[in-house]
Amino acid sequence: MPELLSQAEENYLKAIYKVSRRDGTPVSNNAISVEMQTSAASVTDMINRLSQKGLLNYQKRRGVSLTEEGYATATHLVRKHRLWETFLVDKLQFSWDEVHELAEQLEHIQSRELVNRLDEYLGFPRYDPHGDPIPDAEGLMAERQQVALSQLPVGQLAVVVGVKDHTTPFLQYLERTGLLLGVQLRVSERLDYDNSLQLVLDQGTTLLVSQKVGQNLFVQLK
Amino acid sequence: MPELLSQAEENYLKAIYKVSRRDGTPVSNNAISVEMQTSAASVTDMINRLSQKGLLNYQKRRGVSLTEEGYATATHLVRKHRLWETFLVDKLQFSWDEVHELAEQLEHIQSRELVNRLDEYLGFPRYDPHGDPIPDAEGLMAERQQVALSQLPVGQLAVVVGVKDHTTPFLQYLERTGLLLGVQLRVSERLDYDNSLQLVLDQGTTLLVSQKVGQNLFVQLK
DNA sequence: TAATAAATTTAGGCTAGTCTAAATAAAAAC
DNA sequence: GTTTTTATTTAGACTAGCCTAAATTTATTA
């Protein structure tokens, strides 16, 4: 069943997986071409090939969705990506803002056995260094009920569990301000002027963050 | 200086490195096409591209050799290959006959930093699981004076340090007979009939091996 | 040394994956 | 309900890597 895919094909599957998680159902050619940074013509081309291979449901001009097999393949790619990121951070001491590009390469290595042994070696982690859940060998992953920090009611105690924005500048901002995974906090005040948030962290330190930061940090209620 | 190479280009460089180590100097198109299992026409094609990029010295119909830069690139690929093999065996508990194909994939991952951290994580190993020397970050590797077991004088004490044949069947043969790296032995007798060798191992156990085995095992005199 | 064999290069063609420009269909706006 | 805008597909072209078949050069051998 698991056909051998090129890296390009795998990258398209991941992109489709990613945008369909956001929106829900059929994905437009346009959304894919934006995500992939490639022309609409190339997307049409690849869509044809992938639906030919049974990985996508596709009707001309009606958008695409992942088939069962396409979904499983994409999930496995996500599993590999997140396990490699965990490896790089936990074992090789990379910082969480350096590992994405590397994992983009490593996720294309073909070997179920390798992935499973890596998983075991890392102690079957359920979340990667950015707080994203890692699918297990069957493709199942933990679902956490989390909300954006910006949605958190004033006074409510919560803990930082993930990021929405995975870019280096944002991760480095968090590093510098100490707003890392596992940190407990409360919003002490929401400033109407620019929707910035006044936070009280663990040890009582306070921090003022912009709306943008609030929208890109996930927290879990305590 | 380090241009970005495709996997195909890297594979050709490795092949040329490999066959020129055997013979010495300029490598024929033919030798490369045999090593790469590809047509002579494809080889000519790729030779042109690689010499264009300054990685090969090439004169029509006179064979190719690696330039300084080509040699450094090939050595770095070998470094990556052997470090990944070491990782797979030492950390992920793969056996030495399972790791080659995986390392063939992993050696194409692009990141000096990753390679160096992996090296450090593994404790700067000087030899890989097959006994082959691992180039350091500067491309230097240990040279060992070793001989094929078949060359060993009768009675001379020696220790197994490497294999010439890296194929799974041979490695599994060694696994099954206990002729592993680090084992001490002596040739007690050379049988003229078929050039097979009677060995005495560490703990006094004896073993009869064929000429073929003798030619594919490297030992170091004690 | 002339003839034959072997190695190498050239010529031409194929696929995957990309692109731009043009054609067509669908959606939005008037 | 036309018209205009936007999205999508088609057409045609390009590069990297591969191939086979033919041409050419070099090596071998009679």
Higher pLDDT, A200 or B1: A200
Mutate: best of A90, A95, A117, A120, partner B, most B CBs <10 A: A117
Residues A155, A156, A159: CA angle, nearest 5 degrees: 125
CA atom of B49 to C1′ atom of D27, Å: 27
Average the pLDDT over each of A23-27, A35-39, A192-196 and give the range with the smallest value.
A23-27
Average pLDDT, chain A: 95
Residues of chain B found within 8 Å of residue A110, distances taken between Cβ atoms: 105
Flag whether pLDDT at B207 surpasses 90.
yes
Find out whether A100 and A172 touch, Cβ atoms under 8 Å. no
Name the token pair of A129: 């260094």
- Dihedral, CA of residue A7, residue A9, residue A14 and residue A19, to nearest 10: 140
User: What is the C-alpha separation between A8 and A10, in angstroms, rounded?
Assistant: 5
pLDDT digits (tens, 9 = 90+) for B21-79: 865 589 999 999 999 999 999 999 999 999 999 999 999 999 999 999 999 999 999 99
pLDDT digits (tens, 9 = 90+) for A97-149: 999 999 999 999 999 999 999 999 999 999 999 999 999 999 999 999 999 99
pLDDT digits (tens, 9 = 90+) for B144-175: 999 999 999 999 999 999 999 999 999 999 99
Mutate: best of B105, B116, B119, partner A, most A CBs <10 A: B105
Beta bridge partners of A218: A148, A162
Average pLDDT, chain B: 95
Would you state the pLDDT for residue A3?
77
Judged by a CB distance cut-off of 8 A, whether residue B114 touches chain A is yes
Pairing of strands B157-163, B217-221: antiparallel
Average the pLDDT over each of A15-29, B65-79, B123-137, B172-186 and give the range with the smallest value.
A15-29
In order, the DSSP letters of chain A are: ------HHHHHHHHHHHHHHHHH-S-B-HHHHHHHHTS-HHHHHHHHHHHHHTTSEEE-TTS-EEE-HHHHHHHHHHHHHHHHHHHHHHHTT---TTTSHHHHHHHTT---HHHHHHHHHHTT--SB-TTSPBPP-TTS-------EEGGGSPTT-EEEEEEES---HHHHHHHHHHT--TT-EEEEEEEETTTTEEEEEETTS-EEEE-HHHHHHEEEEE-
Tell me how close the Cα of A114 comes to any Cα of chain B, in angstroms: 8
Of all residues in chain B, the one with the smallest CA distance to A109 is: B105
Contact A102 B114 (CB under 8 A): yes
pLDDT digits (tens, 9 = 90+) for A27-41: 999 999 999 999 999
Q: Give the model's confidence band at A204: pLDDT under 50 very low, under 70 low, under 90 confident, else very high.
A: confident
Mean pLDDT confidence for A58-74: 94
Instruction: List, in sequence order, every beta strand (DSSP E) within B2-141.
Output: 56-58, 64-66
Flag whether pLDDT at B189 surpasses 90.
yes
Would you state the pLDDT for residue A83?
98
Would you state the pLDDT for residue B22?
63
Contact A109 B106 (CB under 8 A): yes
Would you state the pLDDT for residue B21?
80
User: What is the C-alpha separation between B106 and A69, in angstroms, rounded?
Assistant: 26
Q: Which of A94, A102, A117 sits opposite B92 (nearest CB)?
A: A117
Would you state the pLDDT for residue B203?
82
- Count CB-CB contacts under 10 A for residue B35: 18
Would you state the pLDDT for residue A8?
98
Beta bridge partners of B37: none
Sheet containing B217-221, strands listed edge to edge, beginning at the edge strand earlier in sequence? B147-148, B217-221, B157-163, B184-191, B196-201, B206-209
User: What is the C-alpha separation between A94 and B151, in angstroms, rounded?
Assistant: 47
Tell me how close the Cα of B181 comes to any Cα of chain A, in angstroms: 24
The fraction of chain B above a pLDDT of 70, given in percent, is 98
- Residues 6 or more apart whose Cβ sits within 8 Å of residue A52: none
Would you state the pLDDT for residue B33?
97
Contact A111 B92 (CB under 8 A): no
Would you state the pLDDT for residue B219?
98
Flag whether pLDDT at A86 surpasses 90.
yes
Flag whether pLDDT at A174 surpasses 60.
yes
Q: Give the model's confidence band at B2: pLDDT under 50 very low, under 70 low, under 90 confident, else very high.
A: low
Does residue B60 reach within 7 angstroms of strand C, measured from its CB? Answer: yes
